Amino acid sequence: NTKGFIFDLDGVIVDTAKYHFLAWKKLANSIDVDFTETQNEQLKGVSRVKSLEKILSWGNKTISEDEFMALMAKKNDDYLSYIDKMGESEILPDVPKILNHLNENNQGVALGSASKNARKILQKVNLISNFQAIVDGNDVSKAKPDPEVFLIGAKALHQKPENCIVFEDSVAGVQAANNANMISIGIGDKTVLSEADYVFKDFTEISIEFIEELIKK
């Protein structure tokens, strides 16, 4: 039995949300806009363009197209300065255990991320060889909750959507998995991710037996 397992990146494999937060906060403050952790929650799984649009609307700012592009570049440069220092120690607990089990049992493994920096991050934490397919912000035109990112992932794994399982930490991502007709596994808070088929706090709560059940389903 072969299934397709599709992983979100930020919040599932690594905690890059804290670096997005630092970079967005610095940028927002530089244009006199307040930026809180609560607001940052609303940017999870959201593309870079959409994130900046939200920050500008929270601050009631209108800027030119050129300024918009310049701010996006500034945020990304700052974000990349954190990414450059990343290493294997930043992989979230028990992620390698699950990835290795899937790889050893010839299951399809793909990444489905909104980030344009996904490949770079996977290289930094030395996990790139665990993935047969990488679908990221460079490959999609429609953001989560649209199912596009996961449907492209399923195709790359030669799997039907109903034989795919998605791991996601964001509400929009869980909705995207459900919209793709895949099994959705929320990683995080049960009350926030209530639309997911299953929710676990993190991968330390996911047993190999549970993974085996998903493979046999």
- Sites for ligand G16 among residues 53-112 (CB under 6 A): 76
Nearer to Mg ion, 148 or 169 (CB): 169
Cis check: omega of the bond before 96, within 30 degrees of 0: no
Given candidates 6, 28, 43, 151, which one binds ligand G16 under the rule CB under 6 A?
43
Closer to Mg ion by CB, 59 or 137: give it.
137
| Cα separation, 39 vs 23, whole angstroms | 13
Q: Is 11 in the site for ligand G16 (CB under 6 A)?
A: yes
Residue 114 interacts with ligand G16 (CB under 6 A): yes or no: yes
Q: In a 10 Å sphere around its CB, with 0-12 CB exposed, 13-18 middle and 19+ buried, how is residue 85 labelled? A: exposed
Residue 10 near Mg ion by CB under 5 A: yes
8 binds Mg ion (CB under 5 A): yes
CB of 89 to ligand G16, least distance (A): 19
Residue 179 binds ligand G16 (CB under 6 A)? no
What radius of gyration, in Å, describes the C-alpha atoms of the chain? 17
Nearest to 110 by CA among 8, 6, 182, 13: 6
Q: Any catalytic annotation for residue 32?
A: no
Task: For residue 132, give every residue at least 6 positions away whose Cβ sits within 8 Å of its Cβ, in sequence order, or none.
Answer: 108, 109, 110, 156, 157
Q: Which residues are catalytic?
A: 8, 10
